[in-house]
Every structure is written in structure tokens, then in C-alpha cells.
Structure 1
Amino acid sequence: MQKPIRIAVLECDTPLDKIKARHGGYGNIFERLLKVAATEMHTPDFVNADDLHVTKFHVQEKMEYPNIEDIDAILITGSRFNSFDNDPWITKLVQFTQDILAQTRVRIIGVCFGHQIVGRALGVKVDRSNAGWETSVLPMTLTPKGKELFKKDIINIHQMHRDIVYAYPPGVEALGHSPRCDVQGMYAQNRLLTVQGHPEFTQEIMEELCETRHAQKIFDDELYADSMRRVADAQDGVVVAQAFLRFLVEG
């Protein structure tokens, strides 16, 4: 892929108030993560922060989308909404994802809800998990392809989901699993790379999410306490973002 790399972040939700006040939208959070990842790779001849041209489109609130000719990749963010619902903005997002999948130049990155949208667009079941929530920092056991892409034998990543992709679509390689989610990541060379976890989340973001969902009675006391015990654990968000960058420039 030629530089600069034009990435359109499709924002599928608005952050909670404190997170929004500190960071703005999720597009800003992902832009910062990707640029930190590029800087920490220490390979300016490969990709650096100045190579990344990030634009943001709030597909949930405004149903705005980029012109495909103006971008090289889309990044579909997480969301509190259900990827299997048929709200107009969700069905439009699925159709747009299918349009991207139907061509061969623009690549797709999906995170959590975005990972599930890619699975839905590829025709596999996406629904509520019978195993319940996965929250806070948890290990993701990697397949050989996952180890190759992430350059580690195992990664730790923030999770915040109770919906899952139930199967791998044809032609898609498995990247890893967790005890409550068999499809933690999907990959197709030059086409797509997705993760169920949240590489963009920090301790402060996860703490606010857990506190809010506990106050709303979405999390019971046990789930809240368990989540908060792991919220400060070391996590590999930058490692995952570096894999995103390598994917964007792979031949």
C-alpha cells in the first residue's frame, strides 16, 4: 500500500461523558493508538505516524460514510449496540462492509462490534453468547497465524462483550480464542483483520465503563468486582495496533 495510508474510522458509538471529555470520539482514540504504535515500531522506513491520514465518520449518529475512492482502509469501532439487530444504521453498515468486501483494494479492520459486523457481512451467525460477559484484561490464546501476526505467543487485551461471532467464515483464518469466545480474531490476507477485544481501551476507559454498567445494574456485584480486579493488568493494545499497521502495508 502506498503512503500516506488513508484510514477511515467508522465510529459506531459515542463514548461515555468522562471519556468523551478527555478524548473526544472513538476515532480520536484509535488515531492516537495507531500513531503511538507506529512511533514505537521504530521503523520509519516501514510506516511512521506521519504516514497515517485518519478521517472519522459517525455511522451510528449521522450514517455518514467515506467515498471508497478516497480511502485505503476502514476501521469499524466497538459499540454498545447489538451487531445482530436490524436498526437502519446497522443494516446500512453491514451493506457498506459487504461493498468493501466485494472489491479488492480497500482493507478492513474490525474491533469488537466491528469484528462482529464483519462476521455478519460474511454470512456467519452473530448473536448473544451463552457463556456471558468477557470484561477487562484477559488473555487471548493465539493460533499459529495469530502468533505470526501479533509477534507474540499470547496477548492480553481488554474485553467488553457478551455477543460473539459463532463461526469462521469460509476463507478466513482463525487468530485465537478465549475460554468464553472461540472466534477472537479473523484474518484474510490483504482483505481483513479483526479482533473481538479492545486494543484502544485504557485502564481509565475500562474503569468508567465498568462503573457505569454496575450503576446501571447491567453488571452485578460479582462481575463488577472481578472486572475491576483485572482493570490495571498489563495489556497489549499497542502490539495489536502494530499488527494492524503491518496488515495495512502487507503485499
Structure 2
Amino acid sequence: MPSTKIGILETGGPPRELAERFGDYAAMMRRMLGEGYAYATYDVADALPATPEEQDAYIVTGSPAGVYEDHAWIEQLIGWLRQAKGRAKLVGICFGHQVMAEAFGGRVAQSDKGWGIGLHRYQLHERTEWMDHAAAIAIPVSHQDQIVELPPFSRIVGGSDFCRVGILAYEDQPAISFQCHPEFEPAFAKALIEARRDRLPDPDAAIASLDQPDDRERVAGWIRRFLDGLAAERS
């Protein structure tokens, strides 16, 4: 049976010294999802897929940029996502979560709560077919922007007091998105905080939080089940 074709829409990358140690965001996505998929990576600042049908599904990565910034590639990506609606499965991570919301009628802004870093806990409000029995997850985050207006035909699956719109599921297309970073290994998340230490609140506490158990593999399993069209066991 042919492998599911996954297009990784890379919207930015880690600082150069961290990319040399940990790989780029596309590499992190491949490690998160594992084998069993045929991967293709697109640097969205250079080129987007000619048609959504090039791949079965697309993952939109995180980025240092904000969706409201004046970059031609952001406008082009938003236009492409609108074209892709209903024609391929879509998964958004952090910036990907935000740019999908903008593309489909929501709004993103820099949060007055400031930076979210370290390990955060999301409460889960429902269990979709691709999720398991968890009531909450502990997951790395790194963001200062948030979705402040929901796109039509979307619903909040999980979130926190700090970030209400933590996980979205779309009702009018096969699409899900996450504000958190299930692809961030703790060592990378710590190194990223160190690289931004001078502009982050309480970086030492955030770094210490990443020593606690997390649910990265659980969330990766949710994404794999969504991509594969499989329902989770509810035992």
C-alpha cells in the first residue's frame, strides 16, 4: 500500500546554531511522525505546492514571524491554504495554527499575557475520533501570539487559562491545529529559551518545567491517527 504523502510547509527555522545541533523544523516534524510516510518539504518563502493534490496532507510549521507581519510569503501562504481547504488534510503547529486561523476567517494578535514558554498544561474539552482518553496534556510551548477570534466552523478542543485556543478542530474540512509544540524535544526547547533568555519572563522556571514528564508522544499519536484516518482506542 503506498505511503501517505506528507508535505511539510516550512515557515521558518530555529536560530542557526540550534539548527546545527537539532535540525530544522522539517526534521523535527519527521522525527515526531516517524516512518511510514513519504515526506516532501517546501520552503514557503521560495515555493508552495503547485496544487494541494501534490500531497495527501500538509503540516504547517512554527516560525519566528507573526501572521500580521508584512511578508509576501505570509500573504501567499494564506491564499494557498484557502485554495487547499477540503482538498488535503491540514495540520498547523504554533505559527501554523495561527496562520490557518487567519486564512479561514479568524484573527491572531500579540497577546497581552506575553510569552508562553516551557511546559504548559492544556485541559481537553472533548475527545475527537483521533484522540484518546486523556483529560489533559503537558506539552512544550513557545509563543507570544494567540488566536483571539475563532475561524467559523472551528471548535476549541483544548487550551489553558494562558492560551484559551490551544487546540482547534475544523468542522467544514479535514484540518486540526495546535498552539503547542509536540515536535520540540526538551533539550531543544531548553536551548531555545536560553537563546532568547534576555527577552523572556522567568526563563529558569520555564527550563526547569521541561524536566517534568510530557505528552509529546501522545499528541504525536493523535496527529498520526488524524493523518491516517484512524480512530483511537478508548480503553
How does the TM-score come out when normalised to structure 2?
0.90
Structure 1: gaps of 5 or more residues: 36-48
Does residue 123 (structure 1) correspond to residue 102 (structure 2)? The answer is: no
Residue type of the partner of 1:238?
E
Q: Compute the displacement of 1:146 (Å).
A: 5.7
Cα distance in 1, alignment partners of residues 91 and 14 from structure 2: 20
Q: How well do the aligned residues superpose, as a CA RMSD in angstroms?
A: 1.9
Q: 1:208 to 1:146 in 2, by over 3 A?
A: farther
Secondary structure, in 3 states, of the residue corresponding to 1:206?
A: helix
Cα distance in 1, alignment partners of residues 203 and 170 from structure 2: 36
Q: Compute the displacement of 1:147 (Å).
A: 9.1
Moved over 4 A (4+): none
Query: Which string of whole-angstrom CA distances, capped at 9 and with x for unpartnered residues, describes residues 174-218 of structure 1?
Result: 11111111100111255101000000001111111111101xx22
Q: Compute the displacement of 1:150 (Å).
A: 4.4
Q: Name the structure where helix makes up a greater proportion of residues.
A: 1
Q: Which residue of 2 aligns with 1:191?
A: 174
Query: Is 1:59–1:93's contact at 8 Å kept on the other side of the alignment?
Result: yes
Does residue 162 (structure 1) correspond to residue 139 (structure 2)? The answer is: no
**Percent identity of paired positions between Structure 1 and Structure 2:** 25
Q: Which residue of 1 aligns with 2:233?
A: none
Q: Compute the displacement of 1:17 (Å).
A: 2.8
Q: Which residue of 2 aligns with 1:171?
A: 153
Secondary structure, in 3 states, of the residue corresponding to 1:234?
A: coil
Does residue 13 (structure 1) correspond to residue 12 (structure 2)? The answer is: yes
Judge which range, 152-161 or 231-240, deviates more. 231-240
Structure 2: gaps of 5 or more residues: 231-235
Q: Which residue of 2 aligns with 1:238?
A: 217
Cα distance in 1, alignment partners of residues 57 and 39 from structure 2: 10
Q: Which residue of 1 aligns with 2:93?
A: 111
Q: 1:32 to 1:148 in 2, by over 3 A?
A: closer
Query: Is 1:8–1:66's contact at 8 Å kept on the other side of the alignment?
Result: no
Q: Which residue of 1 aligns with 2:83?
A: 99
Secondary structure, in 3 states, of the residue corresponding to 1:181?
A: coil
Cα distance in 2, alignment partners of residues 237 and 224 from structure 1: 21
Cα distance in 2, alignment partners of residues 200 and 236 from structure 1: 11
Query: Is 2:66–2:145's contact at 8 Å kept on the other side of the alignment?
Result: yes
